[in-house]
Chains A and B, each alone.
Chain A
Amino acid sequence: MQRLAYVRLSVLLLLGVAALFVTECSRPGDASPVVTVEHAISPEPPRVGPATVILKLADAAARPVPGARITVEADMSHPGMAPVFEEASETGPGEYRAHLKFAMAGDWVVLLHVRLPGGQTLERQFNVSGVGPN
């Protein structure tokens, strides 16, 4: 009876380890639509205070994608900090700019919520590591 209990315990442990690998391998992949988003940030390296996110949208044939609506969201990597939301404005064919304010030094993650002219939506994210203190 005791031996059976330890077998059960061992099986439980093995299942735990297996689950570790399964969940790591099954992280959701990126089902990208055929639009590429190039991004840049100014100033570089970024510091606490105002910053501009520059985005360039292009389709599969590398043609600019105008008329998109982009909401830029910036979150800190630590939970509990207030996120920053800004609407990007189109400054040229397929080029968009959003003015953010990094309130704290550290690592930020910028999320792009994009609605394309045809109504299709896509989400992108990039890291802004090491925003320095002022």
Chain B
Amino acid sequence: MRVPGLGRLFRWRYVRPLLQLPMLIVSFVMILHGLFGPTLAPKNLATTLSWLHFRGVLVLVLLCAGNFFCLACPFMLVRQMARRFFKPRFNWPRPLRNKWISIALFILILFTYELFDLWSSPWWTAWLIVAYFLTVLVLDGFFKHASFCKFVCPIGQFNFVASTLSPFEVKVRKLEVCVACHTKDCIRGRREPVSDLITIRGCELALFQPSKVGNMDCTFCLDCVHACPHDNIGILSRMPGAELLTDPLRSGIGYFSRRKDFAALAIVFTFGALLNAFGMVSPVYAVESWLGRLLHISHEAPVLGLIFSFFLILEPVVLLGLAAWCARTWAGNQRALLSLAVRYSYGLAPIGFGMWLAHYGFHFLTGLYTVIPVTQSALAHLGWPILGAPRWTLTGLPSNIVQVIEIGFLILGFAGSLVVTHGLAEEDSPAKPLRAFVPWAAVCLILWMASTWLVFQPMEMRATLMSG
């Protein structure tokens, strides 16, 4: 926020709508092209922008900066406009104030992505975007604050976990200023002196800045920055992943080590990364065919359900259970197995992020320029060929170069996971940190080897998994 120009921009109250508006326009273009444009995915803006560019830019921005997608989220702009007409009345139900719904939706999106081959259907991709807008409107139409962002949005949860590894964070500059502050506008909102009407919103995600730790649950909406009367909140640099090394009481969250839903989110984030990539390589078809023959099933959904259960339930339970048992036995830790598994599951997030980066980075970089001919084609079909004839031969970087970058992401993720799990082991078992660390290092190594194996598998993108 001290960067000349940029700092002033982010301190400007209307920076969010300014960033959201282009995203909203692009979303509408994607919806229209998805519904009424070419049915072939590589020639449609809905599929090209969703499954190549959006995902790629998202993970790279998370790696290099922070959760800036949530800042520029177009769904929230529509919600803001809608809230001018209907005010939400209800608070989000207490039993649902956790991550379980969003985890289920996250898995559902991964599942439908594979089952219905969303990447190959502009029409369904467009409707997915429309469904997102409608869900936001309905939920935030009924429920106050940012209920959708905090408890429902699967993209948001992905961003929250990934942004724990980002180099920037929205945080307080000088804690002593907050201690002396009596108005607490960052959470309550800035109010008019006489009418007490809120003129600038406080944090809608219940993150009280002085006790907020890290990026988890932070949408970078900058409401707190604008509400703070002391200009004491900014987007500040920090050590990526540092928030995973400690377990303080976090505002709006509690203790990481006591939040099984957050741990489950980190597990789905990590193992889902491998699963999502596994769905795109040749061996998945052999596995599906084998399972289909073994169980005499010809429908794809149950077979896919089994694969998902293996990757997202059985594999994490076995790996984390074994590691927790070994760590407890070897290091003499008195914690319960589940408690240990919950505590260390956050340490796997870096390797999961490495896999997401490798996967989405591959599609983004190898298809980097494809948006150009697709846009040329879309404009030409509208009778407005101002960009010339589509140059379909424009694709992206050569895959052998991108593969080197992928390996770099995986090594980075592996190193990050080792650092975090080692840090947790040092804090947990100061007498025998190495013994507590080794089982988790083994889990990280297994995941890294599996990720590297996946990257070297031949890609095979079918829309009919069971055909082979």
* A contact residues vs B (CB 8 Å cutoff): 2, 5-6, 8-9, 12-13, 16, 19-20, 23-24, 27, 48, 73, 75-83, 85, 104-107, 109, 111, 125, 129-130, 132-133
- The distance from the CB of B130 to the nearest CB of chain A, in whole angstroms, is 6
**A80 and B366 contact, Cβ closer than 8 Å, known pairs A73-B392, A129-B463, A129-B464:** yes
The smallest C-beta distance from A81 to any residue of chain B, in angstroms, reads: 7
> Are A24 and B52 in contact (CB-based, < 8 A)?
no
* Cα distance A44–B468 in the bound complex, in angstroms: 14
**A79 in contact with B459 (CB, 8 Å):** no
Residues in A neighbouring B119, C-beta threshold 8 A: 77-79
Q: A27-B39, A73-B392, A79-B51 are in contact. Are A105 and B459 (CB under 8 A)?
A: yes
A23-B134 in contact (CB<8A): no
Which residue of A16, A81, A106, A132 contacts B367 across the interface (Cβ within 8 Å)? A81
Residue of A with least CB distance to B45: A79
Number of A-B contacts (CB under 8 A): 118
Q: Give complex CA distance A73, B377 in Å.
A: 15
CB <8 Å contact, B51 and A9: no
CB under 8 Å from chain A, chain B span 409-468? 458-464, 467-468
Residue pairs across A and B with Cβ atoms less than 8 A apart, 17 shown, are A9-B138, A16-B134, A75-B43, A77-B117, A77-B463, A78-B51, A79-B42, A79-B47, A80-B366, A80-B396, A104-B459, A105-B282, A106-B461, A107-B463, A130-B462, A130-B467, A133-B460
- Give every chain B residue within 8 A of A19 (Cβ-Cβ): 130
CB proximity to A under 8 Å, residues B27-46: 35-36, 39-44
Contact residues in A for B392 (Cβ distance below 8 Å): 73, 83, 85
Q: Is the CB of A13 within 8 A of B138?
A: yes
For A83, the chain B residues whose CB sits under 8 A away are 42, 392-393
With the chains together, A9 CA to B460 CA distance in Å?
Answer: 43
**Other-chain contact of A77, B393, B461, B467 (Cβ < 8 Å):** B461
Known: A77-B42, A78-B51, A107-B463. 8 other contacts (CB 8 A): A12-B134, A76-B461, A77-B463, A79-B48, A80-B367, A80-B370, A107-B120, A111-B40
Contact across chains for B41 and A78 when beta carbons are under 8 A apart: yes
Q: How far, in whole Å, are A80 and B41 apart by their CA atoms in the complex? A: 9
Given contacts A20-B127, A79-B119, A80-B396, contact A130 B464 (CB under 8 A): yes
Find the residue from B44, B117, B460, B461 having the highest chain A CB count within 10 A. B461
Query: Hey, which chain B residues are within 8 Å of A76, CB to CB?
Result: 42, 461
